[in-house]
Structures are given as structure tokens and as C-alpha cells.
Chain A
Amino acid sequence: MDPIAVTIALNIIYEITTLFVIVLGLAIVFGLLKVMNLAHGEFIMVGAYAAYFCQDQGWPYIMAIPFALFIAAILGYLIEFTLIRHLYRRPFDTLLVTWGLSFLLREVIELVYGKGFQSLSNPIPGSIDVLGEPYPSYRALVMVIAILSVLVLWVWYRRSLTGARVKAMVENPELARAVGIRVDNLARHTFVVGTCFGALAGVMLAPLTRVEPFMGLDYILTSFFVLVVGGVGTILGLSSGAGVIGGVQSVVSNLFGETSGYFGVLLIAILFLWLKPNGLISRS
């Protein structure tokens, strides 16, 4: 096989899968609770800083996962309990609140670690052979974990009774309460699952990116584009959104440079908002 083609293909797949993990938490919270969490990027940032903290302490990198999840869960519960739960079915208010929250989280991190970049060392240096081409091991692992975690989540949501209860709560909250579903608690857990996926994305991406207080802004922006293109409410929509946005960004950046990549994504998002506002695949 053409070595350049293999590398480009792998890079596109990498772009799409990481994008998927980045947007997943946001999509869960927005799709199921109708809460647009503008602080989602900051949860990714917190996850990345949690990973930095772990590495700084000299702990094995795998420890960053439970540590980041722990912090994201505590933050998530706290935020849901104090702010979000009062604002369900008030979309504009949740926008404002989570926007303010994103400022707060950035400022807190800045207070502790300063404005500067932190760089993490690659926990799994070296490369592996993919179709005869060397590919960075850690990036390959990130891809595998990303795909696995999405698959597990999807199968769980489709097959488990808890997944069915979440669906029930979303479809018909009144009946859900009648059969004894504690919709308040279930919504809280759902929100926390979203924040935890954000933190997990942060841990996965931290060694591959510059860790700084403002890194979340980039992520929330691209996540929006994915939701705009893919539509909300289905894994398939999310995949196609991540596919289009990640694919365009990766291909155009490769051909014409990074700025053009951003421009291409922006153009696609505008076209979709204009011509297909419900996205490629939306729940009827």
C-alpha cells in the first residue's frame, strides 16, 4: 500500500475518533437532558490538568483515568445539584450559567497553574506497525480506547435496563415518575456521565496537545460543529458529524494548511445551519 495514503488515512481516523470522544459528553447531556453545557470544554481541560498532576507526581499514567473521573464526578454532582437541576427546560438560562461556569473553571486552573502551557511526556513512546507503516503507539491506543468506549456506551444504552430507563425518562418523564423512576437522580447521574466523558477525553488527549487553561474553547467550538452537522440524539448522527467535521478538517489541513482546515469546517457548519438545520440524522 502507498505509505502516504496509509498515514493520511490513519490521521483522518485519529481525527474522527478523538473528535467523537470530545463531543460525546456534550452530546449525552444535550441529547438526553436538553442542557447545552458550554463548560464541556473546561471539563476536558480539567481532565487534562488532572493527568498533568498525576504525571507531575510521578504516578503511572493509567492512574490519571480514575483520578480525573473522580474530580469530574465531584464537580459534575456539585454543579448539577447547585445550578443545573433548577434550569432543566430553560435552555437559554443553562447556556448563560454554563458559560459563566466555564470562566470560573478556567480562572481556578489559571490561579493554580498559571496561564502557561504545560506539556506532558508521552506515556507510551515509540511506534507500532500499522499496515507496514510506523504509527505512534500512544495515538493508536487513544484510537482504540475511543472506539471501545463508544461501543461499550452504545451497547449499554441499547441493551441495559438502566439505558431503557434513561430513554423512558427522556421520552415521557411523567410516566417515568409513575413507574417509580427517580427522574431527578437519573438526570443528575446522566449529567455526571457527560462531565466524566469530558474528563476522560482530557486525559486521553493531554499528552498529544498543549495543556493550558483556554484549551477547552477549541474543543467546545468543534463539538458544536459536530452537533450541527450530525444532529442530536443518535450515535449514528454523532458519528457522521464527527466523520464530516474531522474528515474535512484533516483533509483540508493536510492539503492547504491548518487555517484553511478551520475555514473549511466553519463553511460546512454554516452550510448545514442554513440548508439542513436538523443535521444529517436527527431523532424525529
Chain B
Amino acid sequence: MTSPIYSFDGVTGGYGGGIVVNDVSGCVEQGQVLFVLGRNGVGKSTLLHLLFGYLQLIRGSVRFKQMDLVGKKPEEMSSLGITFCPQERVVFGELSVLENLILMRGNRDITHLEGYFEHFPILAERLSQDAGTLSGGERKILSFVRALSEGRELLMLDEPTEGVQRENILHIAQLIRERKKSGATFVIVEQNLELLDEVGDHVLVMDQGKVMISSRKDLISREDIVRHLGV
């Protein structure tokens, strides 16, 4: 068995010293996707905020490629090879679509983006428009493409398909599959099981801040997952 490239153990913490996430552990191997599932408000986003350094851990450890990530700040993560797409306020609305995509690059060259524009021509059409004029789903797509185009090794996405049309969810899935093949690793928080079916490898189901199920996807039935999502 290969050792995981990214792992977290006993992660506990929340906002303002409270405990929202309690003793959550998980790991993912290189080139694979870990899905964090659960109903609204069970602590999935809080978990990502703890893992990415927005919130301080009360207890627990986080490791990426033998590196200890505890105490690292969000702005340090990109230089360590990790990026993050938040669930809300996903783009810079006052910047143009193009500026959102090249903000951290040294130049305005966009040849590296052409592959993404084939999947999402809407972005190419609206390059000079303010990102704030896009619809919710289009902003999610822009945020996703922004993260993917940074070329990081680990991508943490908080509900990347929220409000996105089904056709484009399939494009997102295909891009994730391609990136997995080239060795990138994903941690994805989702409510929508479609993306899980398409690209998932591991599943972590949370309820009330705790882990309910932690398993390889092919070892559990969809019914088990759905039962915990409590639809």
C-alpha cells in the first residue's frame, strides 16, 4: 500500500475557540480524490478552513509530503503546493475574469488557459468583464479554473459544483480526471453525489462535526452514504 501524500489526524477546532470539528482524521494518496460529504452545517467547510490554516487547530496534526502544516498560514500554502477554493465569495467580483485568472502570474499571457476555455467557452467570452457580473455557477467555474491553472499538487475545493449546470459538472469531472492522471491530489467537500460518482476515490462522511464513515469509495454502497446525508 502506498503511503498517503496528505493526511490529517484528530483534527479538532472551530470558530472563536469553540469546537465545530471534533477528532476528524483522513488521508488521501497522490493522484486520488478524497470526498468530504455530509449535510449542511455538519462542519465540512470548517474542516477545510482548519486544514488550510484559516482557523487554528485546538488538537490534531496535518501533514503534506512529510511536511507539518500545523501553524502554517493560508498565504503560505500556495508556495507549499496547495490551493483552496472557498464555498462562498469564490472570485474577486471587482476584478475582470482575466485578472482573476492571472492575478498571481508575472504577465498577462493566457496561452496556458486555452485548454480550460475549450471546456468553458463562457470564460473566454467574458474575459474583460468584471467577475461580479457572472452568475453563481459561472463564478464557481471561474474559481475552479483559477485553482486548476495554478498547477498546484493538492487542491482543496469547497462545493465546486454548487449552482453549476450538469453539463459543466461533467466538464469539471473530466478536468479533475485529467489532473489526477498527472499526479494532482484533491480534497473536495460536496453535497452533490454526481461528482463523487465521476471522480471519487475515498469518502469521508461527517455528521455533527464527527466522522461517520471513512472508506474507499468502492467498498461502501451509495445507500450507506445517502442514509447519512439524510435526504
User: What residues make up the interface of A, taking CB atoms closer than 8 Å to B?
Assistant: 161, 164-165, 167-168, 171-172, 174-184
Residue from A164, A178, A180 in contact with B95 in the complex, judged by beta carbons closer than 8 Å: A164
Q: How far is the CA of A99 from the CA of B89 in the complex (A)?
A: 36
Query: Are the CB atoms of B93 and A175 closer together than 8 Å?
Result: no
Q: Is B166 in the interface zone, CB < 8 Å from A?
A: no
Of A171, A178, A179, A181, which one neighbours B94 at CB under 8 angstroms? Answer: A171
User: Given contacts A164-B95, A164-B103, are A180 and B90 in contact (CB under 8 A)?
Assistant: no
- Tell me which of A161, A164, A168, A183 contacts B75 (CB under 8 A): A183
> B86 interface residue, CB < 8 Å from A?
yes
Report 11 cross-chain contacts, Cβ distance below 8 Å, ordered by A residue. Answer: A161-B105, A164-B99, A171-B93, A172-B93, A175-B89, A177-B54, A179-B83, A180-B75, A180-B78, A180-B104, A183-B75
Contacts of A181 in B (CB 8 A): 75, 103-104
Beta-carbon contacts of B120-140 to A below 8 Å, as 1s and 0s? 000000000000000000000
Question: How far is the CB of A187 from the nearest CB of chain B, in Å?
Answer: 12
Given A161-B105, A174-B54, A174-B86, verify A168-B78 contact (CB < 8 Å): no
B95 with A175: CB separation less than 8 A:
no
Known: A180-B78, A181-B75. A175 touches B104 (CB 8 A): no
**Interface pair A178/B86, CB less than 8 Å apart:** yes
Bound-complex Cα distance A174 to B52 (A): 11
Residues of A near B89 (CB, < 8 A) are: 172, 174-175
Chain A proximity mask over B83-120: 1 for CB below 8 Å, otherwise 0: 11110011111110001001111101000000000000
The number of chain B residues touching the other chain, given as a range, is 20 to 34
> Do A172 and B74 touch (CB < 8 A)?
no
Task: For chain B, residues 59 to 99, give those with C-beta under 8 angstroms from any C-beta of chain A.
Answer: 73-75, 77-79, 83-86, 89-95, 99
Q: Say if the beta carbon of B44 comes within 8 Å of chain A.
A: no
The one of A161, A167, A174, A180 that contacts B79, using a Cβ cutoff of 8 Å: A180
Q: Given A161-B105, A164-B99, decide whether A175 and B75 contact each other with a Cβ distance below 8 A.
A: no
Query: What is the chain A residue whose CB lies nearest that of B90?
Result: A175
Residues of A within 8 A of B146 (CB): 179
CB distance from B207 to the nearest CB of A (A): 26
- Compute how far the CA of A29 lies from the CA of B97 in the bound complex, rounded to whole angstroms: 27
Residues of B within 8 A of A178 (CB): 52, 74, 77-78, 83-86
B103 and A177 form a contact (CB under 8 A): no
Judging by beta carbons under 8 Å apart, are B77 and A180 in contact?
Answer: yes
Give the distance to chain B from A238, nearest Cβ to Cβ, in Å: 18
Q: Are A168 and B92 in contact (CB under 8 A)?
A: yes
Find the B residue at minimum CB distance from A169.
B92
Q: Report Cα–Cα, A179/B77, bound state, in Å.
A: 9
Within the complex, the shortest CB–CB distance from B95 to chain A, in Å, comes to 6
B94 cross-chain contacts in A, Cβ below 8 A: 167, 171
| A-B contact sample (14 more), CB < 8 A, given A172-B93, A174-B86, A175-B90 | A161-B105, A165-B104, A171-B92, A171-B95, A174-B74, A175-B86, A177-B73, A178-B74, A178-B77, A178-B78, A179-B103, A181-B103, A182-B75, A184-B75
B92, A177: Cβ atoms closer than 8 Å? no
B86:A177 contact, CB within 8 angstroms: no
Query: In the complex, what residue of chain B is closest to A183 when comparing beta carbons?
Result: B75
Q: Would you give the shortest CB distance from A118 to chain B, in whole angstroms?
A: 44
